[in-house]
Amino acid sequence: MTSIDVKNLTKEYGGRRPARAVDELSFRVEPGRVTGFLGPNGAGKSTTMRLVLDLDRPTSGTATVGGRPYVTLDDPLRTVGALLDAQAAHPSRTGRDHLRVLAASNGLPERRVGEVLAETGLEPAARRRIKGYSLGMRQRLGIAAALLGDPEVLMLDEPANGLDPEGIVWIRGLLRRLAAEGRTVLVSSHLMNETATFADHLVVLGRGRLLADVPTRDFIEAHSKARVRVRTGDPVRLRATLLAKGWSVGDAADADGRWVVEGARAEEIGAVTAREGIPVFELVDERASLEQAYLALTAEAAEFTAAASPLEV
Ligand SMILES: Nc1ncnc2c1ncn2[C@@H]1O[C@H](COP(=O)(O)OP(=O)(O)OP(=O)(O)O)[C@@H](O)[C@H]1O
């Protein structure tokens, strides 16, 4: 079983105003689950992935795959499959030739080309030149290339980029299956809601720093505030009763006559209304949007970045 281990990783880019793209970052990506790698634009996700793949040198710290630096792996493509830049393939090659060259130059069996073309739904386009591919098809080709070595570890940078709704459903299924097979799957995205549909675990970055390293379920539980919507035949008494008992209730019902009680669960409000004999027509548990919780978590980092980087003219 192969994990990705990032330890005290720092990457500074020089230039007129040196900046830390990755700042003392430590986390482990475990096998057998999909880890969502989240953060706003510029948070350092791509840089971290490049450092894991030894495409860039860290300023300090280490990144290893199965305990070894990527460059020391005997058979890198059979160990780690990566999608970093879906535009990287040679435009005048066909999709099939692109994969055949990759297989041949890495000592991978030719049969894998057909297998990954089938896996990614690219068979009908395999003999067409890449320059005629849509963004979604290029993404699929990049994913096919990442799967070519049947690797234990997958690192995919924004794989859903450019995919249509059917493609998005397909990639969710693929990621789940790869993890179920015991592989280590790290997937970057800047969309929380989308990531929560397939990731078991979340690693969240802001300004190169670790903001969260938690199971998705725990993140939802901790950050997405509970609330209840309730519809009643006696709104005046309902509101007065709940306010008297210390609940936070809005000033007005929504257009459908439902009142929102913040920080409450349906069974708590149900118990109060039953005790007080207030007629209830509807009582629903709700959660504040996950995306809002994620934005709140990363907002501080984003604000700092904005303040620290005034527009230059
Ligand atoms: N080659 C480079 N030279 C200078 N700065 C760089 C370089 N590569 C990345 N950066 C900077 O490092 C920071 C992190 O960028 P990175 O691309 O890793 O973020 P990201 O989380 O992947 O964002 P995105 O979602 O936009 O791809 C950014 O401020 C970026 O401008």
Domain count, the chain: 2
Q: 94 lies in which domain range?
A: 4-221
Q: What is the 59 CA–ligand 1 centroid distance (Å)?
A: 15
Residues contacting residue 264 through CB under 8 Å, at least 6 positions apart: 226, 227, 228, 247
Question: Does the structure show a pLDDT above 90 at 144?
Answer: yes
Ligand 1 atom closest to residue 50's alpha carbon, by position in its atom list: 18
pLDDT of residue 87: 74
Ligand 1: centre distance to CA 41 (Å):
8
158: phi then psi, degrees, rounded to nearest 5: 50, 60
For residue 83, what are the contacts with CB-CB under 8 A and spacing of at least 6? Answer: 139, 142, 143, 145, 146, 155, 156, 157, 159
| Pocket probe mutation, ligand 1, options 20, 37, 45, 305, max atoms within 8 Å of Cβ | 45
Task: Work out which ligand 1 atom sits closest to the CA atom of 39.
Answer: 21
- Both 60 and 195 in one domain: the answer is yes
> Whose Cα sits closest to atom 3 in ligand 1?
13
Judge if 21 and 149 occupy the same domain.
Answer: yes
CA of 5 to the centre of ligand 1 (A): 20
Helices (H), 80-204: 95-105, 111-119, 135-147, 165-180, 192-196
Residue 233: CATH number of its domain: 3.30.70.100
CA distance 143 to 121: 11
- Closest residue to atom 1 of ligand 1, CA basis: 13
Q: Are residues 214 and 233 in the same domain?
A: no
The region of weakest confidence among 45-59, 172-186, 283-297 is 283-297
Per-residue tokens: 277 = 């004999």
Among 10, 46, 312, say which to mutate for ligand 1: greatest number of ligand atoms within 8 Å of CB. 46
Q: Is there a domain that residue 310 lies in?
A: no
Relative to the CA of 47, which ligand 1 atom is closest? 18
Same domain, 182 and 236: no
CATH number for the domain spanning 74: value is 3.40.50.300
**Residue, of 60 and 190, whose pLDDT is higher:** 60
Exposed (0-12), middle (13-18) or buried (19+): which is 17, by Cβ within 10 Å?
exposed
Please state the rounded mean pLDDT for residues 87-105. 91
Say whether both 121 and 202 belong to one domain: yes
The verdict on 265 and 144 lying in the same domain is no
Residue nearest to atom 12 of ligand 1 (CA): 21
| Same-domain check for residues 46 and 155 | yes
Alpha carbon of 28 to ligand 1 centroid (Å): 21
Residue 229 sits in the same domain as residue 276 = yes
ipTM reported for the complex, 2 dp: 0.95
Instruction: For residues 174 and 50, state if they share a domain.
Output: yes
CA distance 250 to 281: 18
Residue 204 is assigned to a structural domain of this protein: yes
Residue 302: inside a domain: no
**Structure-model confidence comparison of residues 201 and 306, the more confident one:** 201
Within-domain flag for 149: yes
Domain boundary among 202, 221, 240: 221
The model's pLDDT over 262-303, given as tens digits with 9 standing for 90+, comes to 889 999 999 999 999 999 999 998 876 777 778 878 887 665
Residue ranges lining ligand 1, Cβ < 6 Å = 13, 21, 39, 41-47, 190
Checking if the pLDDT of 310 tops 60, the result is no
Same domain, 231 and 216: no
Looking at ligand 1, which residue's alpha carbon is closest to its atom 31? 42
In percent, the amount of the chain with pLDDT more than 90 equals 73
Is residue 61 in a domain?
A: yes
Residue 296 domain flag? no
Is the predicted pLDDT of residue 223 greater than 90, yes or no?
no
CB 253 within 8 A of CB 259: yes
Task: Answer with the residue of higher pLDDT: 104 or 309.
Answer: 104
Residue 23 forms part of a structural domain: yes
Q: Whose CA is nearest to atom 5 of ligand 1?
A: 13
Protein residue whose Cα sits closest to atom 6 of ligand 1: 13
One domain, residues 253 and 147:
no
Ligand 1 mean position, distance from CA 273 (Å)? 53
Domain boundary among 221, 248, 269: 221
Count other Cβ atoms within 10 Å, centred on residue 155: 27
Q: How far is the CA of 251 from the centre of ligand 1 (A)?
A: 45
| 164 vs 303, higher pLDDT | 164
Does some domain include residue 313? no
- The C-alpha atoms of residue 241 and residue 270 are separated, in whole angstroms, by 12
- What is the overall mean pLDDT for the chain? 90
Q: Where are the alpha helices (DSSP H) in the chain?
A: 45-52, 76-79, 95-105, 111-119, 135-147, 165-180, 192-196, 216-223, 235-244, 266-276, 290-308
Q: Are residues 229 and 184 in the same domain?
A: no
Contact predicate 146/116, CB 8 Å: no
